[in-house]
C-alpha cells in the first residue's frame, strides 16, 4: 500500500493533519499538502450530474429560542401572542 493510499484511508477515518502526519511519519506541512492534493483530485474527478425537469429543493429554518424570553421568539417569527 502506497503512502497516498494510506493517507486517503486515514482521511476517510476523519483524522487531523497532525494524526495523519504521525501515522505516516511525515511532518505536518507535508501531510496537509498531501491531503489538499488528494481532496482536489477527488473534486476534479467527480462528475456533477445535470439537472433536468422539475427539481425540488427544501429549506428549513430552526429557531432554538431565547431562554426565558419567549416574547422575542414570537416577535422574530412574526407570530402574535395568541398564535402560539
- The residue behind cell 488528494 is 38
pTM, 2 dp: 0.54
Distance CA(21)–CA(46), nearest Å, equals 26
What pLDDT does 38 receive? Answer: 92
Residue 38 forms part of a structural domain = yes
Residue 81 forms part of a structural domain = no
Domains held by the chain: number: 1
Residue 40 lies in domain: 3-45
Digit-coded pLDDT (tens) for 23-75: 999 999 999 999 999 999 988 898 888 888 887 878 877 666 666 666 766 66
Residue 17 forms part of a structural domain = yes
Burial (CB count within 10 angstroms: exposed 0-12, middle 13-18, buried 19+), residue 69: exposed
What pLDDT does 18 receive? Answer: 93
Query: Would you give the distance in Å from CA 71 to the centre of its chain?
Result: 33
Residue 21 forms part of a structural domain = yes
Mean pLDDT, the chain, whole residue set: 82
Amino acid at each position: 500500500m502506497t503512502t497516498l493510499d494510506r493517507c486517503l484511508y486515514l482521511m476517510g477515518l476523519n483524522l487531523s493533519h497532525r494524526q495523519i502526519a504521525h501515522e505516516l511519519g511525515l511532518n505536518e506541512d507535508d501531510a496537509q499538502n498531501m491531503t489538499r492534493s488528494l481532496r482536489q483530485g477527488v473534486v476534479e474527478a467527480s462528475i456533477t450530474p445535470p439537472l433536468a425537469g422539475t427539481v425540488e429543493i427544501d429549506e428549513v429554518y430552526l429557531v432554538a429560542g431565547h431562554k426565558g424570553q419567549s416574547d422575542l421568539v414570537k416577535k422574530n417569527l412574526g407570530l402574535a401572542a395568541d398564535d402560539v
